[in-house]
Structure 1
């Protein structure tokens, strides 16, 4: 009799355990850390929208887009239809806040993975917390090269990094001379002074020396500056033909206004993405944003060669009344990549998800990015990430390099401020 009682208790315990497990599988909690307030709040809002669209597609489907993974909806099929639940955290552009929020999401919210964090200096601290807690960290946008040079086991980056992006600048100069007969020799560097901007400056200095360009002026300014007059005056005095610039949104807008105010008109401003590709950049500056060339990873005009770009952008635009940017398109792709790994793992066990990420091999035909695909090397870097250059003309981004992908010829040089209509 006593033995039967014990057996029955065990059976009830097993049933209860199964019930809790089945319930837990209804949601897959993913923590996302972005700047939702502060100087980069506009960028953060766009990326939050992209994440919500990706989660909605996974959970509820996207009719008429059969080539997009998870477009059938119904959640993650290998987890019995478990739905993605995003838990947002605001790092405010502060690395310490980013680390604290990562800790909270892992220990209190019990997320199984993290996505973030746009600004490289915040990604650096937040991903350290994830590494220590053995939780996968998927980074869609941060481009500081050192992020994948830390021998981390739990960090994965889908975008290409600044080693490649800065190299693209110099490849572009070489192609301009060879194919357009335009010589560039005098360069200036104008970059914000956090991890991203400082690393970019080092790369630009190194490559300029190696490739025989004269870097006539190098200026790093305090991030989130309220005035840049003295810095722009010093830059102007150096007389660069081309200014290579790394700025987040507020600084990018302020710099352009100061250039106009001081009549600084180099042949070209060659921007390193970030603030120059935020929707608010063109919205705020209007025609004064025209002619800038910026490195990019995505452009709507590439839909002519990849219909998936327009199909998914139409979903985004219908919901948020804005097009994807290089930032938001990468964020969307990052969550879709993480979901792919979780689904292949067939589990919410963090080690199983990490292992699945190491085995990722998504073909370019399944992406809205102009990449060959997504496959991570031993450092967690996507080996297939690549960059393009776009130029703003009449308030729109146009692909101008590589020339075989270009949808419009480069306008060079930029018209002087007093010669613009």
Structure 2
């Protein structure tokens, strides 16, 4: 039986079905092609992105490496080397601490202005200060703070012998170098310590110089036959007094009065009365400046006029001159004076006066020398590690430069850490201090007693 022809509606439906099938096939083919193209494009894009990321990472890594290298050099060049300073900035010795700090600050300013530590890419020095209040236990805690928390490369200062002794123990235990500025007790550099150095002389050396000066005075007709020793009862005074007794015994000069006192007292008339009653014709003093003023005023009140030789910078401070005639003609053996004849000393005095509008004291000069010594040690060692700085200090041997302002032929430390420095004798002449001995550095002649 023959098939019947399809109706128009059926034909249209058939065409639509055929069209839909064709469309679906076409769409699937198109989709597959599109997917393949898209996939290929995505792959290419991903590869391109990965390539770009890789390039970026490589560039970033190179830049980071360069930046780190550059920054490390820059930071090393700009990082300050910390130097700890211990000084009495409050309490009864605050004025001494202020003079000490002036020397440290001027040295730091000059060192940094001259390019810092050149062997360390121009590293600058930074002072980190601790106030000892002239108290040994406070000094101990401040020294520990500077070493443990501030990570200083070296310590300096301390000023008084009792305080310096405690700081020496802390520094030696921590293996951080400590450069003593002004303390004179002999045993500070007689304890086999490897990390303790001192720019000031021992008290025994000063007393030996006094012995030689007595011979000079005897040649001028001023003889000493009966001696009195008056001193503060701390390590400084005790060390000086012990050395005076040895020197006087060797010269067969009788000690007719041996008077100690607590530093800071307001009345020393009893001690002066005993010296006067004993008939002393020479008085050896070892006192801080405020105590010296009290002593001289008590002597003036009792009209007691022996030959007076003080020991230490407490006898050459400007405030002492306020006592007027009571101090006129007196002598003091000290480690340094502003008028000593040395080029480095003159340059220091000029710079100090320009900055502070005042003459420096011995303390200031010693602080200046100690700071320059640390800078010299850093320059030699090329490292801020305390061990390296210690070795650098031990190796210093120089006859030139700012560090040589003190009265010695060469700036150097011996095996015990002691600088072999001499002393000078100053006299109050017409209301001012004048270096009168030894002749090689003297700025004036010895004036007759008035």
Shorter chain as denominator, the TM-score bin is 0.7 to 0.9
Distance in structure 2 (CA, Å) of the matches to 1:262 and 1:364: 49
Match of 1:66 in 2: none
Is the partner of 2:127 in helix, strand or coil?
strand
Match of 1:254 in 2: 294
Could you tell me which of 333, 350, 357 is aligned with 1:295?
A: 333
Could you tell me which of 240, 247, 260 is aligned with 1:200?
A: 240
Distance in structure 2 (CA, Å) of the matches to 1:406 and 1:263: 30
Compared with structure 1, are the counterparts of its residues 50 and 405 closer, same or farther at alpha carbon in structure 2 (3 Å cutoff)? closer
Alignment deviations for residues 67-120 of structure 1 (CA, whole Å, 9 cap, x no partner): xxxxxx121111111111001111011111111100001111111100011101
User: Which residues in structure 2 correspond to 1:81-230 (within 5 Å)?
Assistant: 81-177=122-218, 179-230=219-270
Distance in structure 2 (CA, Å) of the matches to 1:286 and 1:46: 22
Structure 1: 5+ residue runs without aligned partners? 61-72, 416-421
Match of 2:75 in 1: 23
Alignment deviations for residues 41-71 of structure 1 (CA, whole Å, 9 cap, x no partner): 11110111111111000111xxxxxxxxxxx
Compared with structure 1, are the counterparts of its residues 356 and 258 closer, same or farther at alpha carbon in structure 2 (3 Å cutoff)? same
CA contact (8 A) 1:364 1:371 kept: no
Is the partner of 1:47 in helix, strand or coil?
helix
Q: Is 1:368 matched with 2:409?
A: no
Match of 1:274 in 2: 313
Kindly tell me the number of residue pairs found equivalent between the two proteins. Answer: 393
Compared with structure 1, are the counterparts of its residues 51 and 405 closer, same or farther at alpha carbon in structure 2 (3 Å cutoff)? closer
- TM-score, normalising length from structure 2? 0.82
Further displaced range: 116-125 or 325-334: 325-334
Compared with structure 1, are the counterparts of its residues 333 and 214 closer, same or farther at alpha carbon in structure 2 (3 Å cutoff)? same
CA contact (8 A) 1:246 1:274 kept: no
Which 4+ runs in 1 deviate beyond 6 A? 11-15
Alignment deviations for residues 197-256 of structure 1 (CA, whole Å, 9 cap, x no partner): 011111111221122111111111111112112111112211211111011121111111
Q: Radius of gyration: which is bigger?
A: 2
Distance in structure 2 (CA, Å) of the matches to 1:54 and 1:235: 43
Structure 2: 5+ residue runs without aligned partners? 1-56
CA contact (8 A) 2:76 2:121 kept: no
Shift of 1:175: 2.6
Is the partner of 1:190 in helix, strand or coil?
strand
C-alpha RMSD over aligned residues? 2.4
More helix by share: 2
Further displaced range: 190-199 or 317-326: 317-326
Distance in structure 2 (CA, Å) of the matches to 1:140 and 1:154: 14
Compared with structure 1, are the counterparts of its residues 74 and 147 closer, same or farther at alpha carbon in structure 2 (3 Å cutoff)? same
Compared with structure 1, are the counterparts of its residues 404 and 29 closer, same or farther at alpha carbon in structure 2 (3 Å cutoff)? closer
Could you tell me which of 408, 411, 419 is aligned with 1:382?
A: 419
Shift of 1:168: 0.9
Distance in structure 1 (CA, Å) of the matches to 2:116 and 2:76: 14
Shift of 1:404: 4.4
User: Which residues in structure 2 correspond to 1:59-70 (within 5 Å)?
Assistant: 59-60=112-113
Alignment deviations for residues 316-367 of structure 1 (CA, whole Å, 9 cap, x no partner): 1122121111121111111111111111111101111111111111215652
